Structure 1
Amino acid sequence: MTLRRTLILAALMGTTAMAAQAETLRIGLESDPDALDPDRSRTFVGRIVFTSLCDKLVDIDPELNIIPQLATEWSVAEDGMSLTMMLREGVTFHDGTPFDAEAVKANIERSQTLEDSVRKSELASVESVEVVSPTEVKFNLTAPDATLLAQLADRAGMMMAPSAFEGDFAAEPVCSGPFSFVERVAQDHITLEKYADYWNADAIQLDGVTFVSIPDSTVRLANLQSGDIDIVNQLAATDIPQVESTAGISFQSITGLGYQGMTFNENNGTEEGDPITDPKVREAIDLAIDRNAINQVVFNGVQSPASQPFTENSPYYNPDFPVVERDVERAKALLAEAGYENGVDVSMQIPNTPVTLQLGQVIQSMLAEAGIRMELISKEFATLISDAGEGNFQISQQGWSGRIDPDGNIHQFVTEGGGFNDGHYANPEVDSLLNEARQTNDPTARAELYKQAGAIIAQDRPLIYLYHLAWLYGISDKVQNLTLYPDGMLRLENVTVAAE
């Protein structure tokens, strides 16, 4: 961001704040969201915007329990083959059209059939949606699905106005959340305003919320210190001491559910003979990385080094897969066995933020010691995600914000046809194990299935895990009543911004 843009942004935000009597919350995001369409969206920052824009059938509380939102109650059939939901009455979308069972049916069917929907695998168990009455809807399933409620607590359960489906929904999204869409300026800001007819309007104290895209963490911090934004999302770990020593702002954090890693393009338009398709090369890359050093050098020790998708506080964490220890000599030997005695050239696309670029440079230096020459290709995050889906990468440094059900951290990334399986990894045994894990509610049985699938994935390495995430925030003292959630979403019920 240029100085000129920073000054213009400051002036713009200052004007907005005065017009709204300081009741517009301004959130600095680390990147620009992709499509404002829950069916097409893949970015974490997009989910943050959707939390204010699009209510879901169900939500979670801070302890990760599933709670009512647009659905007030639900029940699963004894045989597990259907889920019935009772819907909240009197709810309308932002264009005034009613939310009802027909709208739920239209939303789910769109998620399943839209050509570029990335929600398809999340809803694969839904055979049909039956409208029982305007306030009752039944999901008929192809098999029991222990993950479905958790999926409906995220983008698969976000309700959009069917009346807006025929247009460019991402350009003018119409949902039923506490705030409605006003405008979007790409790479700059997204503005929402309070929806007066929101079903829970009494809990919304803000007049609006503006999400400002500021990839440079230093500029985000400067805007927080100057009062031009109220919350820094994803504060740089190196900025924590400065925030803690600055009057009027504070550092807050919460342990998250997700991870950051590296995805390898095995079969998504990959040319024959590409070294990244060789499992020995992928293993060599894994062994050349010192995760503990990354945590200390890049993150001041606030993240948790990882070699699996589940955090240590998850009941599905597998102690059989501890953090991979660095072994440069073994990495070199593997390259020689793969026919690369003189080393190998690879490339990795990486988000264009200072922190991720530093991460990439540290990895690049580590790999060089093993004879792996890595080119870093810096991209704006939405472009990176798009290129990943289209197979325009060799290695992609990207992560996942995490889900409350373990399925959400693994299934879509490694099953054939999974919405986030960007490298097109395919292993029928992994598919079978993970699909079976979806069909049982027994935590012990599920843990064993994830353990078996994890052993195969750890051997094949379609992706490798680097660290588990902690959500780091810089927050103005003017922001009151904000509760942090492990999923990293900013829920704004009862949140206020004190006047100057």
Structure 2
Amino acid sequence: MIKLRPVAVALVVLVLAVLRAEAQTTLRIGLAEDPDILDPTLARTYVGRIVFASLCDKLFDIDAKLNIVPQLALSHETSTDGREVVIRLRPGVKFHDGEVLDATAAKFSLDRHLTLPLSFRKPELAAVDHIDVVDPLTIKLVLKTPYAPLIAQLADRAGMMVSPKAATASGDRFGLHPVCAGPYKFVERVPQDRIVFEKFGDYWNKDQVFIDRIVYLPIVDATVRLANLKSGGLDIIERVLATDVKDIRSDPKLKLTTAIELGYRGITLNVGNDKAKGPLSQSDKVRQAFDLSLDRDAINQVAFNGEFIPGNQWIGPEHPYYQKAFPVRGRDIAKAKALIREAGITGRIAIDFMVPKGAENEAVAQMVQAMAGEAGFDMKIRVTEFATSLKQAEAGEYQAYYLQWSGRVDPDGNSYIFLKSNAPQNYSFYSSAEADRLLEDARAVDDPALRKAIYEKLTARILNDEPIVYIYHQRILIAHTVKLDGYVPMPDGLIRVVGLRLK
């Protein structure tokens, strides 16, 4: 038998360790911002949803065709009167701390979403009166009133399951070390620098997880994100600039994927809490004039190389609930000026225009400023950090606010929270008894034709009152190295990591 000297043994051990380390695959994802808290109950940012896609599985998910599909749940059934929803859970699911996801744990997560102070999921589940445990793998949601968007809500953060043991122990600090039931578990977070996850060995769908570690790297500058992708410092990046599309498509080492977003970009107008009580907040004719001053096609061509889709509603033209009876109007400066005169306004109209920091945002804002200026609006652009802009919007400290909403699969998710009186994200402080009634009516019926008819009436009301001027729907642009296999673009823009491989 051959005997190795101690030095040789040490060398063999070292080599094996190096080989094992080299065999580890790491996916590096470039983010446009640093997420807020990693607690699905308290989180509110779009970029946070991207991170949650690898950390926290949901009861349901969506597919590329906007169908709602099972994830941690296997099925659901709604009672004839629409007031009870029975959900059957997938067996054999574990949280990252080894605890079992059963009906009691699912009830805990939903109750937490409903009761935790400062929960942003509470409004999304407001129709739920209580949750019953039917058997170890079945829960029943008892509703106060029928609620058509419920399953769609459970396909997002409201449906994310957290470990009862970890959440109870951590309290409001759970987001510092989250424990969920996704394909990857939390390792560390360095704010504004990185978020690191590693593969969870007991994941219920582990046979489809092929990458060992994921590192999320927030890089605010889109040009720098792309440079890191080209140099090999990143493997995939989100929110590519439309002006970089041609460059990426010509690079043989990169691949561009696209999908039309579920949401919109628009200008929210402060109609109900404008301290200055300017003409924009006091007259729907002035708001209509502002809308007519904008050339959506020109904005799309100049700012986005024609990649995006001009729009005038909270859902895009390809969505099944889009109201074709209200097409996008063309620019009409003469009519805009006439409406301003009808409103009794003379002289130029000064507007505090709050714009979140970012190259594309600022480019659009400057075009809006120039276009509206021709109709008599003096748009005073105020570039603001995004988190700060949200706080100022909540306080009504603005008159016009350029804002993006990532969107939800059900039209209720793009409308109710922004247009219902006193809703949590009603930054315009808009209040209309008719709009409130229609929003509630649309929640109470399941039949798509009936719902669409209700939304047609709502669309007419909103396009008259114009608390939000919808401008366009972006094409979600995600670029990655050709070494990455299995990536499927999704209309919510989230990077789903199950099934991805690195060659």
TM-score scaled to structure 2, two decimals? 0.91
Find the counterpart in structure 1 of residue 45 from structure 2: 43
Deviation, structure 1 residue 170: 2.6
Q: Distance in 2 between matches of 1:405 and 1:416?
A: 20
Q: Distance in 2 between matches of 1:340 and 1:79?
A: 52
Deviation, structure 1 residue 261: 0.7
Deviation, structure 1 residue 411: 1.6
Aligned length: 480
Find the counterpart in structure 1 of residue 227 from structure 2: 222
Find the counterpart in structure 2 of residue 326 from structure 1: 331
Find the counterpart in structure 2 of residue 388 from structure 1: 393
- Residues 423 and 171 of structure 1: is their aligned pair in 2 closer, same or farther, counting only changes over 3 Å? farther
| Paired amino acid for 2:97 | D
How far does the alpha carbon of each residue in 1:389-421 deviate from its partner, in whole angstroms, 9 at most, with x for none?
343332221122222222222122101232321
Deviation, structure 1 residue 19: 5.5
> 1:140-289 maps to which residues of 2 (within 5 A)?
140-162=142-164, 163-165=166-168, 166-268=171-273, 270-271=274-275, 273-278=277-282, 279-289=284-294
Q: Distance in 1 between matches of 2:286 and 2:24?
A: 54
Deviation, structure 1 residue 195: 1.7
Question: Are the counterparts in 2 of residues 118 and 420 from structure 1 also a CA contact under 8 Å?
Answer: no
Find the counterpart in structure 1 of residue 65 from structure 2: 63
Deviation, structure 1 residue 452: 0.4
Question: SS state of the match for residue 463, structure 2?
Answer: helix
Deviation, structure 1 residue 376: 2.0
Decide which of 125, 137, 140 is 2:127's aligned counterpart.
Answer: 125
| Paired amino acid for 1:288 | S
Higher mean displacement: 316-325 or 234-243:
316-325
Q: Distance in 1 between matches of 2:340 and 2:36?
A: 37
Higher mean displacement: 303-312 or 184-193:
184-193
Higher mean displacement: 430-439 or 160-169:
160-169
Question: SS state of the match for residue 331, structure 1?
Answer: helix
- Residues 302 and 181 of structure 1: is their aligned pair in 2 closer, same or farther, counting only changes over 3 Å? same
Higher mean displacement: 285-294 or 97-106:
97-106
1:469 paired with 2:474, answer yes
Question: Are the counterparts in 1 of residues 263 and 406 from structure 2 also a CA contact under 8 Å?
Answer: yes
Find the counterpart in structure 2 of residue 305 from structure 1: 310
Q: Distance in 2 between matches of 1:22 and 1:214?
A: 24
| Paired amino acid for 1:412 | I
- Residues 36 and 338 of structure 1: is their aligned pair in 2 closer, same or farther, counting only changes over 3 Å? farther
TM-score scaled to structure 1, two decimals? 0.91
Question: Are the counterparts in 1 of residues 311 and 317 from structure 2 also a CA contact under 8 Å?
Answer: no
Decide which of 451, 471, 495 is 1:490's aligned counterpart.
Answer: 495
Find the counterpart in structure 2 of residue 12 from structure 1: none
Q: Distance in 2 between matches of 1:169 and 1:340?
A: 53
Deviation, structure 1 residue 169: 2.4
Deviation, structure 1 residue 37: 2.2
Decide which of 78, 81, 94 is 1:79's aligned counterpart.
Answer: 81
Deviation, structure 1 residue 447: 0.7
| Paired amino acid for 1:147 | P
> 1:390-405 maps to which residues of 2 (within 5 A)?
390-405=395-410
How far does the alpha carbon of each residue in 1:344-395 deviate from its partner, in whole angstroms, 9 at most, with x for none?
2112222212111111111112122222111222233333334333433322
Deviation, structure 1 residue 173: 2.1
Deviation, structure 1 residue 245: 1.4
Question: SS state of the match for residue 385, structure 1?
Answer: helix
Find the counterpart in structure 2 of residue 15 from structure 1: none
Aligned-residue CA RMSD (Å): 1.9
Q: Distance in 2 between matches of 1:35 and 1:360?
A: 29
Q: Distance in 1 between matches of 2:47 and 2:22?
A: 24
Find the counterpart in structure 1 of residue 92 from structure 2: 90
Question: Are the counterparts in 1 of residues 333 and 374 from structure 2 also a CA contact under 8 Å?
Answer: yes
Deviation, structure 1 residue 339: 4.8
- Residues 121 and 172 of structure 1: is their aligned pair in 2 closer, same or farther, counting only changes over 3 Å? same
Q: Distance in 1 between matches of 2:330 and 2:370?
A: 17
1:354 paired with 2:356, answer no
Deviation, structure 1 residue 272: 5.3
Find the counterpart in structure 2 of residue 314 from structure 1: 319
Higher mean displacement: 249-258 or 444-453:
249-258
Higher mean displacement: 351-360 or 296-305:
351-360
- Residues 170 and 348 of structure 1: is their aligned pair in 2 closer, same or farther, counting only changes over 3 Å? farther
| Paired amino acid for 1:164 | A
How far does the alpha carbon of each residue in 1:180-232 deviate from its partner, in whole angstroms, 9 at most, with x for none?
22222333322222122222222111112122222222111111110111112
Question: SS state of the match for residue 141, structure 2?
Answer: strand
Find the counterpart in structure 2 of residue 443 from structure 1: 448
Question: Are the counterparts in 1 of residues 242 and 304 from structure 2 also a CA contact under 8 Å?
Answer: yes
Deviation, structure 1 residue 42: 2.5
| Paired amino acid for 1:188 | D
Q: Distance in 1 between matches of 2:32 and 2:302?
A: 20
Find the counterpart in structure 1 of residue 117 from structure 2: 115
- Residues 54 and 390 of structure 1: is their aligned pair in 2 closer, same or farther, counting only changes over 3 Å? farther
How far does the alpha carbon of each residue in 1:444-463 deviate from its partner, in whole angstroms, 9 at most, with x for none?
11111000011111111111
1:370 paired with 2:355, answer no
1:26 paired with 2:31, answer no
Question: Are the counterparts in 2 of residues 119 and 419 from structure 1 also a CA contact under 8 Å?
Answer: no
- Residues 455 and 89 of structure 1: is their aligned pair in 2 closer, same or farther, counting only changes over 3 Å? same
Higher mean displacement: 289-298 or 134-143:
134-143
Deviation, structure 1 residue 52: 0.9
Deviation, structure 1 residue 484: 1.5
Deviation, structure 1 residue 171: 2.4
Deviation, structure 1 residue 331: 2.5
